[in-house]
Structures are given as structure tokens and as C-alpha cells.
A and B are shown apart, each in its own frame.
Chain A
Amino acid sequence: GAGVSQSPRYKVAKRGQDVALRCDPISGHVSLFWYQQALGQGPEFLTYFQNEAQLDKSGLPSDRFFAERPEGSVSTLKIQRTQQEDSAVYLCASSPVENANSGNTIYFGEGSWLTVV
């Protein structure tokens, strides 16, 4: 499809397990964002890439969270030793522009729903 694609859509992990969430942005999009959305809350910023460069990772909650975008296209968010508080929807968004100066240029995926049991 033409939109931002995320996989898996649903993931159940046992506490302590490592997980990897994949984001396929819209082809040619320069900017890529990861957000975490807890149940009943608004999305919270995790990290931002411009091409392959991770320009901001200030929102990553702990060193168990790691994101990469090695070729400036597909991105992976990895969570090591998952904890119950990691249960959330992880949203990826991409944009063809470098600066989020226009909201209608940013496209969100449907998210990866992570449940840690």
C-alpha cells in the first residue's frame, strides 16, 4: 500500500523477552518518527530520524529501547527485556520534509500493539 506500514500489528511478549517492531515508511520520506501511546493517552515522542541519522532520541524511556534506520528507509524499534509498563501502541510516522512544519505532511501508521504479560 501507499501508507506507513507497521509490523507486527499485535505482539504479546513475556516479561523479559526482547521484541522488534518494524516500520516501513512511505517511499522517499526523509523523516521518520516513533511514538508510544499508552491506553487512553495521547502519543508520546520517542525518537526521530532524518534519513539514517537519529537526530533526537530524548523520548526513549530507558536504555532498553533502541531504534535504528540503517539505510534511511525501514526502521526498527527494539525493546530489550520487556516490562509490563512497556505495554502500549507503538506508532511510526513519516514525512517527506525535514521539518514538521506542516501537519498534513506527516503520516502515521496504524501502530504495533504490544502487550507484555
Chain B
Amino acid sequence: GESVGLHLPTLSVQEGDNSIINCAYSNSASDYFIWYKQESGKGPQFIIDIRSNMDKRQGQRVTVLLNKTVKHLSLQIAATQPGDSAVYFCAEVNFNKFYFGSGTKLNVKP
């Protein structure tokens, strides 16, 4: 099956700093990737996505970078806020199946 993993299980940042969450994927044929945020007791919430024909995509305070050469994704959150505290998952999508990594917990310290 697919393998999508994250390098850091827990990330602590100071409020106002930028956060970078990393993810590695295994299927070089994957062409669509999504970042999700999951707060405690809730389902995953879409943050941003990127297709393999792009290497960068920006949203509001978030940027996703895709490096297909090394099969690596990252999520950058600018000016991290306490409301950003959650678990973040990357997922690759193939044939309507989402293959999720194990997640990175982001702690934002006030």
C-alpha cells in the first residue's frame, strides 16, 4: 500500500512564529496531495492541496511546498496562532483513496 509518513511527531512553536510541518510520501506516481488539520474530537478539516504539476501553492497564512524529486511535502504556517494547535496530516490521493500519514501535533505556546 501507500506509505505517507511524517518526520516530526510533535512540534512546539511560539505564538507569532512560523511553523513548518514535513511529510514524506512513497508513491512517485501520486499526483494530488492534501493537508488536513484535525482538532481534538473532530474530523479532519481541509487546509490546502497541491497537484504534482506545481511545486508551491499559497493560501491564507499557509503555503504547501512539493518536492517530487525527494517525494517530500511541507506545510508552512505563517504567524502561528493558538487556534492552529492541532494534529496535521498530509494525504496523497489515488483512485478516491486518501493515504494519510501518522500526523504531527502542533503546540502553539502563548
Q: Using CB atoms and an 8 Å cutoff, list the residues of chain A in contact with chain B.
A: 4, 31, 33, 35, 40-45, 48, 55-56, 59, 91, 93, 99-104, 106, 108-111
Contact = CB atoms under 8 A, between A and B. Distances in A.
A100 B33 CA distance: 11
B102 interface: yes
Contacts of B95: 56
Interface residues of B, number: 22
Contacts of B96: 31, 33, 48, 55-56, 99-100
Interface string B21-38: 000000000001010000
A91 B97 contact: no
Contacts, number: 59
Interface of B: 4, 32, 34, 41-46, 49, 89, 91, 93, 95-103
A109 B41 CA distance: 10
B7 to A, nearest CB: 14
